[in-house]
Amino acid sequence: MERESQNGEYDGSVMTEEQMEILRKQIAIYVVISNNLRLLHHSLSSFNPLSSGMNQTGLGNFDQMVASSSGHRMSTRQRWNPTSTQLKILERIYEERRGTPDPRRVREIAKELSEHGQITEKNVYNWFQNRRARSKRKQPQTTTTMAGQADDAAVATEDEEERRSCEVSGGFESYDHILFPTPDLGNIFIH
Measured from the Cβ of residue 113, the count of other Cβ atoms closer than 10 Å reads 24
Query: Which residue type is seen at 165?
Result: S
Interface map 63-82 toward a second copy (x if CB under 8 A):
xxx-xxxxxx-xxxxx--xx
Q: Which of DNA, a second copy, none interacts with 98 (beta carbon under 5 to 8 A by kind)?
A: none
The DSSP output letter for 159 is -
Residue 122 binds to DNA (criterion: CB under 7 A): yes
Residue from 96, 136, 139, 191 touching a second copy (CB under 8 A): that is: 191
The DSSP string of 1-64 is ----GGGT--TT----HHHHHHHHHHHHHHHHHHHHHHHHHHHHHHH-GGGGGS-S-SSTHHHH
Residue 82 binds to DNA (criterion: CB under 7 A): yes
Q: Which of DNA, a second copy, none interacts with 60 (beta carbon under 5 to 8 A by kind)?
A: a second copy
Segment interacting with DNA (CB under 7 A) among 9-17, 18-26, 46-54, 94-102: 94-102
Q: Which of a second copy, DNA, none interacts with 130 (beta carbon under 5 to 8 A by kind)?
A: DNA
Signed CA dihedral, 33, 183, 180, 178: sign only: positive
Residue from 129, 130, 133, 159 touching a second copy (CB under 8 A): that is: 159
Residue 3 binds to a second copy (criterion: CB under 8 A): yes
Q: How many CA atoms lie within 13 A of 101 on its CB side?
A: 21
Q: Which of DNA, a second copy, none interacts with 22 (beta carbon under 5 to 8 A by kind)?
A: none
Give kind and range of the element (H or E) at residue 67.
helix 61-67
- The CA distance from 172 to 175, in Å, is 6
Binding interface with DNA (CB under 7 A) = 64-66, 68-69, 73-82, 99-101, 103, 122-123, 126-134, 136-137, 146-149, 151, 166-167, 174, 177, 181-182, 184, 186-187, 190-191
